[in-house]
Amino acid sequence: MQLKGRSRRKAQCRQAELGLLGAGLLILTGALGCSDHRVSLAEFMEMQKEASQPPTSQPATSQPVMNTAIDQALGPYKVGPSDELGLTLTTVDGAAPIGPLQIRVDRKGMVELPLVGEIKIAGLELEDVEDTVKNAYVPKYYQGLVVHAVLIAPETTEILVTGAVTLPGLVQLRRTERDLLHAIVGAGGVSQLASGKVTLRRIRRSGEEVTLDLLSPDELTAALALDPLKDGDIVNVHSAVPNTVFVGGLVNAPAPQTYPSGVPMTILQALAASGGLRTDVTPKEATLIRRLPDGKDIQVRLDLDRITTGRDPNLQLAAGDILWVPETIATRVQDWVNRNIYFRAGMSANVTYNVSGVEYLNRRAQQSGGNNTGNLQDQFDPFGFLNRNSALQRLTAAPVQ
């Protein structure tokens, strides 16, 4: 579709060139858009539609594996090697046959208890640890027993978290929390500048780097399924691109416009925030310049008359967009007239007037007390040409001979 539109425009331009060549007006073909390198709004919207379509085939993933990874990352804490636990044993009559115990899980996931010896508790939740210890004592040693287990000092891994987080720096993660999500939470969570994208760099695997968008459920699931983080791994939370659009050209207040992250801005809103279009000329088109993901810029031709009347869509701008209202042959002619044409008028041979064009045209209505429904400005300048002319200073009236 894009190629067809460009071919049709080239054919129209060629016809215009042949028709104007004999009259020596070939230069005016530029006003018809023949030398225009911009794409049309329809072509741009078609390109955006194609770019937003998901790929026809998705990589196959094992859903059970993903679910297991999520359960491990977001489920209750499970005891493992190097964890330090506290145990309290109480019999049914309230006695404590064994004083409070402080035990450490060894590399094999085992702990050694009085009378019982070694038992395996690695990979168990605290409630399961209590049941395992109770079953080891009852009924062989005691008829009834209440066991209470607490996690005193879990084994931790230190991760470096940088970027758009509240508390960047080293973060200590427990064994079942060694993933990107817990690393960011441990750093105080993301700041208002965060974009949602996170990059993981493995310090022990040179060159290994992965970037994921944690705002996407699929990529968040993939992040939780990654191998556990290890000491020294680096997590960088990306900052969002500043929500700034740049408006310039034939507007009254050309300047960058910055808005809070996530606040949408349309073409007409950006123009209104720039004080509107200049009124001393009549610009009718604009150019939208957008940086594509591949690093190239695309320029889109906008018909302002069609957008303001609702015949063309009022596009939403993206952060970094440039909205430029360019000069055209028509606006240059208007500007030349504004800068070089002056009106001279006089009322008598004895009186010389040196007033502005608007004051002169309105003088009769002002002197009549405002009884007339209109004035000379309305009759001879209905479009406010003189009032819009910033270059017009004063009129020097020549005496009437």
pLDDT in tens, 108-132: 999 999 888 999 999 899 999 999 9
What is the model's pLDDT at position 166? 93
Length of the chain measured in residues: 401
Instruction: Report domain extents, the chain.
Output: 78-153, 156-239, 241-338, 342-388
Give yes or no on whether 78-153 and 241-338 have one common fold.
Answer: no
31-74 pLDDT, tens digit per residue, is 444 567 888 888 888 887 776 665 444 444 455 555 555 555 56
Domain 156-239 sits in CATH 3.10.560.10: yes
> What is 78-153's CATH number?
3.30.1950.10
For residue 190, what is the DSSP state? Answer: B
Q: Give CA separation, 14 vs 1, 24, 32, 116, 322, in Å.
A: 20, 15, 11, 97, 31
67-103 pLDDT, tens digit per residue, is 555 555 567 888 989 899 999 988 877 677 777 889 9
Q: Which fold has domain 241-338?
A: Outer membrane lipoprotein wza fold like (3.10.560)
Q: Tokens standing for 383?
A: 């479009």
Look-up: residue for tokens 């028709």? 19
| Rg from Cα positions in the chain | 38
